């Protein structure tokens, strides 16, 4: 079974600064995906970024980037130039790649507050 751990229940950052959210996971799988989802106060789940484990290059999406360390089973999210709209709960999630219908396993989430 897979587990996903987010050790920071809450974080805050000043607008325009950079913040990094931590995520570690445990799995015996070699082929998998990792995701970060954003959940604003509306509680909708929005995909922020994804990483395929076989790719060594870290994924980036505009102001969002990841630091994927496969050996350490670490998958942190960096948000650059933080904006007030980034205030949300962020969930790290794991999905198997070799199973088409694989479920996603989520961490407990990190509440991020961007301060003006």
Partner 1 sequence: EPEVTQTPSHQVTQMGQEVILRCVPISNHLYFYWYRQILGQKVEFLVSFYNNEISEKSEIFDDQFSVERPDGSNFTLKIRSTKLEDSAMYFCASTPGRSAQYFGPGTRLLVL
Backbone angles phi, psi at 6, to 5 degrees: -115, 110
User: What is the number of other CB atoms lying within 10 angstroms of the CB of residue 25?
Assistant: 20
Q: Does 1 bind partner 1 (CB under 8 A)?
A: no
Alpha-carbon gap, residue 116 to 98, rounded angstroms: 43
CB of 116 to partner 1, least distance (A): 26
Q: Does 45 bind partner 1 (CB under 8 A)?
A: yes
CB of 14 to partner 1, least distance (A): 26
Q: Which of 2, 1, 13 is nearest to 111 (CA)?
A: 13
Among 1, 71, 72, 101, binds partner 1 (CB under 8 A): 101
Instruction: Give, in order, the Cα–Cα distances in Å from 53 to each of 3, 15, 33, 59.
Output: 16, 31, 6, 11
Q: Does 47 bind partner 1 (CB under 8 A)?
A: yes
Alpha-carbon gap, residue 89 to 102, rounded angstroms: 23
Q: Does 60 bind partner 1 (CB under 8 A)?
A: no
Q: Based on CB atoms, which residue is closest to partner 1, 35 or 86?
A: 35
Q: Does 103 bind partner 1 (CB under 8 A)?
A: yes
What residues make contact with partner 1 under the rule CB under 8 A? 33, 35, 37, 42-47, 50, 91, 93, 95, 97, 100-109
């Amino acid at each position: 079974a897979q587990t996903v751990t987010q050790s920071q229940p809450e974080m805050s950052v000043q607008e325009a600064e950079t913040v990094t959210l931590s995520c570690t996971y445990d799995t015996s799988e070699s082929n998998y995906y990792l995701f970060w989802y954003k959940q604003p106060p509306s509680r909708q789940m929005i995909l922020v970024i994804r990483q395929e484990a076989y790719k060594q290059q870290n994924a980036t999406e505009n102001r969002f980037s990841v630091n994927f360390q496969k050996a350490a089973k670490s998958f942190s999210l960096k948000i650059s130039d933080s904006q007030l709209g980034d205030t949300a709960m962020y969930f790290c999630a794991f999905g198997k790649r070799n199973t088409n219908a694989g479920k996603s396993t989520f961490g407990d989430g990190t509440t991020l507050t961007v301060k003006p």
